[in-house]
Structures are given as structure tokens and as C-alpha cells.
Amino acid sequence: MRGAKGTYRFSTGPRLGALFRTWEINGKRESSRDPAVKIPAGAKVLSNFQSLTRAETYVSIGAPDTAALRPHGQGLEFVAVDHPNDLYTGESFAFVVQHDGKPLANQPVEITEAVWTSDRKPQVVNLTTDAEGRVSFPLQRAGTWLALSRHRTPAPAGAPVDEYSHSYTLTFRVLEP
């Protein structure tokens, strides 16, 4: 691959994580992440989900191209409108939040500045997608940023939980022009 120009996607792929289960029985609330612990018969289930995460970033060699930006069409993801490796202060970064290839309207997105020292608190921006699942982040400060969104769906038949809690994180860098 040495010398091959273009944009490359680096991804964890979809990864099942911890179970989160909370129930109430005999007026007492209990919870467990241990898959060996079963929810007791007769308990009122308050939550029963498993995390399903994907984290991605893009690297470009030479000029950015769009081949690696093609959507997966499965799970939670951000589909770039603006190239995540061609972002400069004074512009904006637009993307569409999708689940299984369908845009998510009114979906919360949290964008956090990556801060490498303890003497400065990171800037956090909370945005919400429009009716077409699109969000636009104004690029006011150079640096590295993490965009995160979470979305719950029913788990497939046979899963050990009722729901999946999808999370998607995209790391991107904003440069000075």
C-alpha cells in the first residue's frame, strides 16, 4: 500500500459490549452486567440492553477522495457530506446520521474537543439532526474532535437482551486555513 494515494477508513467494526440490566423485585432495585446473573422471575425489568459500538476515523494520503466514505448501510453511522479529512476553521462539517441506511431525524450528536493537557477543559457541542438526519457542526476551533451519537433499537431474536444501544464515534481533525 506504500504510496497508494487516497482516503482510508479505520474502523473497529461493530463490537458487542457490556450487558446493562436493571430490575425491581420486592421493592428493591438491582442491576448486573454479569451475563451469568439472570433477571429473577417476577421482577419488573427497568432496562435490559447491550452496547453495540463502532468507532471510525479516516486517513488520507495525498488529496482526500470519497471511495472510503461509502456508507456501510448497517447499524448506526455518520455519512459524510463534507470530507472529514478536508476540514478548516471558518467552515462547517456536515454529515447524516443513519441507522441501517435510514436517516435519523431529531437524533442527538455530541461533539467533544480532544484536549491533551489537564489545564484546559474541552469544548462540548450538543447538536440535533434535522428531519433528513443531517447535522452541521461549525468549525470554530482547530484541533481534534470526537463526534458521538447513541441510538436504541430492539435486539434481534435470540439476543440475550431486549435492546441494543448502538453508539458510533467519529474522530476528525480541523485545521487552520
Domain ranges, residue 148: 6-174
What is the pTM for the complete model shown?
0.90
Whether 3 shows a pLDDT value over 70: the answer reads no
pLDDT in tens, 44-84: 999 999 999 999 999 999 999 999 999 999 999 999 999 99
Whether 175 shows a pLDDT value over 80: the answer reads yes
Residue 58 within any structural domain of the chain? yes
Number of domain units in the chain:
1
Residue 154 within any structural domain of the chain? yes
Residue 136 within any structural domain of the chain? yes
pLDDT in tens, 79-138: 999 999 999 999 999 999 999 999 999 999 999 999 988 888 999 999 999 999 999 999
Residue 99 within any structural domain of the chain? yes
- Is the model more confident about 4 or about 157? 157
Residue 123 within any structural domain of the chain? yes
Residue 1 within any structural domain of the chain? no
Q: Which residues of 127-165 are buried (b: 16+ CB within 10 A; e: fewer)?
A: bebeeebebebebeeebebbbbbbbeeebeeeeebebbb
pLDDT of residue 120: 87
Residue 27 within any structural domain of the chain? yes
pLDDT of residue 1: 52
Cα–Cα distances (Å) from 160 to 13, 49, 94, 119, in that order, read 21, 8, 36, 43
Whether 158 shows a pLDDT value over 70: the answer reads yes
Residue 121 within any structural domain of the chain? yes
